Structure 1
Amino acid sequence: MAADAPEKKEGQIPTNLRLLVLLEEVARRGVAVKPAEMIEAMGLPKPTVHRLMQTAEAEGFLQRDLDGRAYGPGPRLRKLALATMSSEHLSTARLIILKGVAEELGETCNLAIPDREGMLYLDRVETKWPLRIQLPIGTQVPFHCTASGKMYLSTLKPSTRVAVLRARTLEALTGQTCTDPDALSEELETIESRDYSTDDEEFIAGMAAVAVPVRDARNRLLATLSVHAPVQRRSLSELMEFLPSLQKGARALGKLI
């Protein structure tokens, strides 16, 4: 459903399309939604909307949010989105942009999207240097100690950030990993204001990274574009010098996606 499309009234949505329209509306909003919001948006009776959402949840297309009342994309809907983004013509165009950024920087560049448990590498272009860190496409990395993950967390509502950071113990993967939810919350506020994130050997000892957001036309984070390198070759401060190129590439990717 397009952002500027008129609201659907009862009887305008064919019965066999109602579930698809509901999923489309949930995905369009980009935040967890309550049944009452969907009733208003779709113009359908309350029992109908509740039944549709319960069916979508049972089949894995929707998933309850932390509050137990709102619904967000479930695993099957996320897989569908990933498959769509990985379609051949989109993947080829993305890879051309990503290769251009990687060749300009001379280091490995990644495009990652948020999944339920971490950031998922969608595309990747390796550096030509023999010394490199292997994180293949399809790898899922933690939110709390990676540049891409922290970039994503910084775009969440403050209350949601707190809930996510306190939902489980934050694992220390290196001596640099921040495992204090309060300290990490403060860092996420800084990331939100400056619109880029860093990883100073927090995920893998000896690796530094910088990430920027890839946003859609409504300024919502779709993915992250990041560069990483062994600190023996590039310090974090040196990687920071790549920010203008990363941001330019992210804008190009956002228009494409």
Structure 2
Amino acid sequence: MNQLLAEEEREAGSGERIATNLRTLLILEILGRSDAALTPTEINRELGLPKQSIHRLCSTLVEQGFLVYEPDGKKLRPARRLRAMASGILHASRVHIARHQILQDVAAAVGETVNFVVPEDKGMSYKDRVDTDWPFRVQLPIGTHVPFHCTASGKTFMSTLSPRARRVMVESIPLDPCTANTITDKDRLLAELGEIARQGYALDREEFMEGMVAIAVPIRDRRNRFLAALAFHGPTVRLTVENMLERKSMLVEAAGRLTQTLTED
């Protein structure tokens, strides 16, 4: 133990910057990218760890069943446990594939860009989307954060909170005016959130961006808790509130399918 502590102290003093809990993951990542078995020295060309450290980490991974040495006793390759983990990750990705397929179905049906949006500290975050084929469209790429108070997805999320939690949130976030239509009055916004909770969908009437309208519905888990918002948006030159409401049932049906997909056992 004293020898191990001394070794780690030497690594810290030598300018080593790779966090200890990331080292084994990086070793597995390097082997996962390689189409051939690698020696610890070959693995370490990307990591630059002290020689003793890379050999110790590789030995631990061998002992735990993640790696195995080739018959020559020098090169490492993935073992049963790592292959099982990789298989599990690939299996889990089926949820993303199924989710994206549902978004594609909705986009084909409504003819506009469809988004899967979740709440984060910075606002509502676009996690998945299918763009419309129209050359004129509103660009909100995956990873974009948009405000809670003036977007259909954000208002959908806030409407699913309890009345008390809604008020706390409305009073704690900035209600900055993004357009002339943005609701910046707290009581008016709370009243709209109550209406959204009753009707089951939210509208953005050019509140976030001039010339853009949107509609969103909640995706819930099997205990009726909010998971995400399913929304579509488009420019006002071809999309109106009436058009969106005519297609609302497509969103509601897809949200039900997403609940089944995302919460299956």
- Give TM class, smaller chain: 0.5 to 0.7
Between the aligned partners of 2:93 and 2:134, the Cα distance in structure 1 is: 28
Letter in 2 for 1:193: R
TM-score by length of 2: 0.63
Q: CA shift at 1:169, angstroms?
A: 3.3
Q: Deviations over 1:120-156 (max 9, x none)?
A: 1111000000010000011111100000000000011
> Does residue 236 in structure 1 map to residue 241 in structure 2?
yes
Corresponding residue for 1:60? Answer: none
Corresponding residue for 1:175? Answer: 180
Corresponding residue for 1:18? Answer: none
Change beyond 3 A, Cα 1:168–1:213:
closer
Corresponding residue for 1:114? Answer: 119
Q: 1:149 aligns with which of 154, 158, 181?
A: 154
Q: CA shift at 1:168, angstroms?
A: 4.0
Q: Deviations over 1:27-52 (max 9, x none)?
A: xxxxxxxxxxxxxxxxxxxxxxxxxx
Between the aligned partners of 1:200 and 1:176, the Cα distance in structure 2 is: 7
Letter in 2 for 1:186: A
- When the two chains are superposed, the root-mean-square deviation of aligned CA atoms in Å is 1.2
Unaligned runs of 5+ in 2: 1-88
Letter in 2 for 1:91: H
Letter in 2 for 1:228: H
> Does residue 133 in structure 1 map to residue 123 in structure 2?
no
After superposition, residues 84-233 of structure 1 pair within 5 angstroms as 88-233=93-238
Letter in 1 for 2:148: F
Corresponding residue for 2:27? Answer: none
Secondary structure of 1:133's aligned partner: coil
Unaligned runs of 5+ in 1: 1-83
Between the aligned partners of 2:205 and 2:153, the Cα distance in structure 1 is: 12
Change beyond 3 A, Cα 1:158–1:108:
same
Greater Cα shift, 108-117 or 184-193? 108-117
Between the aligned partners of 1:167 and 1:253, the Cα distance in structure 2 is: 31
Q: 2:257 aligns with which of 216, 241, 252?
A: 252
Between the aligned partners of 1:207 and 1:166, the Cα distance in structure 2 is: 26
Between the aligned partners of 1:215 and 1:167, the Cα distance in structure 2 is: 25
Deviation beyond 2 Å, 4+ runs, structure 1:
none
Between the aligned partners of 1:240 and 1:126, the Cα distance in structure 2 is: 20
Between the aligned partners of 1:169 and 1:189, the Cα distance in structure 2 is: 19
Between the aligned partners of 1:168 and 1:239, the Cα distance in structure 2 is: 28
After superposition, residues 45-56 of structure 1 pair within 5 angstroms as none
Letter in 2 for 1:89: R
Number of residue pairs the alignment of both structures matches: 172
Identity of aligned residues (%): 45
Between the aligned partners of 2:173 and 2:200, the Cα distance in structure 1 is: 26
Corresponding residue for 2:51? Answer: none
Change beyond 3 A, Cα 1:107–1:168:
closer
